[in-house]
A and B are shown apart, each in its own frame.
Chain A
Amino acid sequence: MKALVWEGANELAVRQVPDPQLRNEQDAIVRVRKTVTCGSDLHLLGGYIPFMERGDVLGHEFLGEIVEVGPQVRNHKVGDRVVVCSFVSCGKCWYCQHQQFSLCDNGNTNPMITENVWGSAPGGCYGYSHALGGFAGSHAEYIRVPYADQGAFTVPDEVSDERALFASDSAPTGWMGADLAGVKPGDVVAVWGAGAVGQMAARASVLLGADRVIVIDRLDNRLQMAQTHLGVETLNYEQQDVSGELLERSGGRGPDVCIEAVGMESHSSGPQFWYDQVKQQLRIESDRPIAAREAIYNCRKGGSVFVLGVFAGLVDKFPLGAVMNKGLTLRGAQQHGQRYIPMLLERMARGELVTEHLATHTMPLDEAPRGYDMFKQKLDGCVRAVFQPTS
């Protein structure tokens, strides 16, 4: 089959790879209809997560049709149109049974790497390096889906492929950030990052009853998109004083909830960007935590900060003093998608959650390297590039 593979840092190619096979009785094989770039892929692409091999298939946010099932798959059959959670989770271990699906004990076939680096292994993730299981990704014609009854969700007829696609990762990740950060009616919420995950976190905050939701980015097209499609306020950090604006818009208190949806390649208009950039390139620190620092600094006393952006390792100048002295609650997680996807599909069916605007560019899989270049460089207003492997 055809697939987009990682050939080395900043090197992608579409080439033939072996078709996936059922390896376990709870597996399904899905023919991929739509698969989309994610900002976290850029960390792999750029070589910041050193657990990739030449030939690894990228992609973890996708939708398709089941073409084969193992004998223990009970809830799905051939022909089902499904959206698949990006995390591989068994649904049976203690973490899954406590709705913390991305922490699954059994979903990662290479647990040693993350147990050494982080102390414990989270579950697996499609197309996200051998640290998270080495599972082939979704930028391919077909993909193997382990624990299919747990991770694949039938899409209601009234929800289009274009909308349901984002129920795989962006929407549940964003929703989880707002939910686990404790957004409640009356809150002021600030979201750093107007990519798909940041926009979904902002929309979730609105739906959870936040009084004001403010999205922060540097790209006007994304901020305009957030205003138009989500009904939220925006701040352009290259043109406005973020701290001053947030204080002014929150009665001088600071936001009740601050959500970081940027991750380890954060940008800034100030000298701190170059400080972190140099240290990251020299591998003195692995991640640039600029937005996380700002979220902590600007959060109100006793408020809540949630880290949704992907971080891999170690950061420098982390404001632990602010966390402690302001009594903040700091939390983060990879997405517990299985917990939210059924509810999100219902909201999509009712029109409460729209996502089509995120897919700014759609193209055949053959053009995926160009799509990633557009996505990485933010060319032509690209927010997400969607690939259609079997169109």
Chain B
Amino acid sequence: MRWLIGGAVVVAGGMVARRLLGGTDQGDGHRQRGQTQRRGPRWHVATVNRPAGDVAPGGQLPEPLAGLGDAVEVQLRPAPGDQGTEIAVRLRDGSRLPVAAAARRATGRDPEQAIRAALRESKQLIETSEVLHPDYPPTTEPTPMNKPLRMATQQGRREGRL
């Protein structure tokens, strides 16, 4: 049975890798223009279940987003259907080669990951007043079999569609 689990982990790892290499593209035509072309910074958007006045009281963004400073551009807008407020964030500076972006993402040094983490943490802070932490100390131990999963979950705290 171990080989079955191993196979499944490889498949899951492949999906994650594809995600890493593919960035968060969702049909905006970058791929049609080829993976070697530079692309502009993407807007990362999260919807927070609060009115705009609660998202940035007095114009002050929550700390995780404020901490990104002038490196990012931030927009707030009401979400349709009374779903709260959309927070949109993107890097101010320039375009990047997809290959370079993928390498940065794989090593956890992609500034886009910092944006997503800040969005996720800000949403949690605004909605629940704290950032949910995983259990600690862990009950698990590292093994060769779970190494890919551990890498994926480490990445998972930064990544996601937010």
Q: Give the chain B neighbours of A57 by CB distance below 8 A.
A: 139
**Digit string of B119-162 for contact with A (CB within 8 Å is 1, else 0)?**
01001100111111111111111010110011011011111111
Complex Cα distance, B1 from A90, in Å, reads: 37
Q: Are A97 and B49 in contact (CB under 8 A)?
A: yes
Q: Are A55 and B141 in contact (CB under 8 A)?
A: yes
Q: Give the chain B neighbours of A3 by CB distance below 8 A.
A: 139
Q: Are B5 and A53 in contact (CB under 8 A)?
A: no
Task: Indicate if B100 sits at the interface (CB-CB under 8 A).
Answer: no
Q: Give the chain A neighbours of B130 by CB distance below 8 A.
A: 24-26, 72
Q: Are B139 and A136 in contact (CB under 8 A)?
A: yes
Q: Are A55 and B160 in contact (CB under 8 A)?
A: no
Closest chain-B Cβ to A107's Cβ sits at a distance in Å of 7
Q: Give the chain B neighbours of A107 by CB distance below 8 A.
A: 132
Closest chain-B Cβ to A331's Cβ sits at a distance in Å of 20
Closest chain-A Cβ to B2's Cβ sits at a distance in Å of 6
**Digit string of B97-128 for contact with A (CB within 8 Å is 1, else 0)?**
00000000000000000000000100110011
Closest chain-A Cβ to B129's Cβ sits at a distance in Å of 7
Q: Give the chain B neighbours of A342 by CB distance below 8 A.
A: none
Closest chain-A Cβ to B54's Cβ sits at a distance in Å of 11
Q: Give the chain A neighbours of B136 by CB distance below 8 A.
A: 21, 23
Q: Are A283 and B8 in contact (CB under 8 A)?
A: yes
Q: Are A9 and B1 in contact (CB under 8 A)?
A: yes
Select which of B1, B47, B133 is within 8 A of A109 by beta carbon.
B133
Chain B interfacial residues counted at CB < 8 A: 49
Select which of B15, B49, B145 is within 8 A of A116 by beta carbon.
B15
Of the stretches A127-135, A229-237, A266-274, the one at the interface is: A127-135
Complex Cα distance, B137 from A57, in Å, reads: 13
| Contact A94-B47, Cβ < 8 Å, known A18-B137, A54-B140 | yes
Q: Give the chain B neighbours of A105 by CB distance below 8 A.
A: 49, 123, 127
Closest chain-B Cβ to A259's Cβ sits at a distance in Å of 28
Q: Are B123 and A121 in contact (CB under 8 A)?
A: no
Q: Give the chain B neighbours of A91 by CB distance below 8 A.
A: 128
Complex Cα distance, B120 from A91, in Å, reads: 16
| Contact A55-B132, Cβ < 8 Å, known A47-B4, A50-B5, A113-B153 | no
Complex Cα distance, B141 from A5, in Å, reads: 11
Q: Are B4 and A281 in contact (CB under 8 A)?
A: yes
Closest chain-B Cβ to A79's Cβ sits at a distance in Å of 23
Complex Cα distance, B155 from A115, in Å, reads: 12
Complex Cα distance, B158 from A135, in Å, reads: 18
Q: Are A116 and B16 in contact (CB under 8 A)?
A: yes
Complex Cα distance, B138 from A26, in Å, reads: 19
Q: Give the chain B neighbours of A53 by CB distance below 8 A.
A: 140-141, 143, 146, 149-150
A140-170 with Cβ < 8 A to chain B: 144, 146-147
**Digit string of B1-28 for contact with A (CB within 8 Å is 1, else 0)?**
1101101110110011001000000000
Q: Are B132 and A106 in contact (CB under 8 A)?
A: yes
Q: Are B135 and A134 in contact (CB under 8 A)?
A: yes
Q: Are A24 and B49 in contact (CB under 8 A)?
A: no
Q: Give the chain A neighbours of B49 by CB distance below 8 A.
A: 92-94, 97, 105
Q: Are A55 and B134 in contact (CB under 8 A)?
A: no
Task: Indicate if A110 sits at the interface (CB-CB under 8 A).
Answer: yes
Closest chain-B Cβ to A149's Cβ sits at a distance in Å of 11
Complex Cα distance, B162 from A186, in Å, reads: 44
Task: Indicate if A278 sits at the interface (CB-CB under 8 A).
Answer: no
Q: Are A130 and B149 in contact (CB under 8 A)?
A: yes
Closest chain-B Cβ to A119's Cβ sits at a distance in Å of 8
Q: Are B5 and A47 in contact (CB under 8 A)?
A: yes
Task: Indicate if A120 sits at the interface (CB-CB under 8 A).
Answer: yes
Complex Cα distance, B160 from A130, in Å, reads: 14
Complex Cα distance, B8 from A9, in Å, reads: 12
List residues of chain B with CB under 8 Å of any chain A CB.
Answer: 1-2, 4-5, 7-9, 11-12, 15-16, 19, 47, 49, 83-84, 120, 123-124, 127-141, 143, 145-146, 149-150, 152-153, 155-162
Can you list 25 contacts pairing A with B, beta carbon distance less than 8 Å?
A21-B137, A23-B133, A23-B134, A24-B130, A50-B12, A51-B12, A52-B146, A54-B145, A55-B138, A55-B141, A90-B128, A93-B127, A94-B83, A105-B49, A105-B123, A106-B128, A106-B132, A107-B132, A109-B133, A112-B158, A116-B15, A119-B161, A134-B135, A135-B135, A144-B135
Since A17-B139, A23-B133, A92-B127 are in contact, a sample of 9 more A-B pairs with Cβ atoms closer than 8 Å, ordered by chain A residue number, is A23-B134, A23-B135, A47-B2, A93-B123, A109-B134, A112-B152, A135-B135, A147-B128, A283-B11
Q: Kindly list the 9 A-B residue pairs having the minimum CB-CB distance in the complex, ordered from nearest.
A: A112-B156, A50-B8, A55-B140, A9-B1, A17-B139, A112-B159, A53-B140, A23-B133, A18-B137
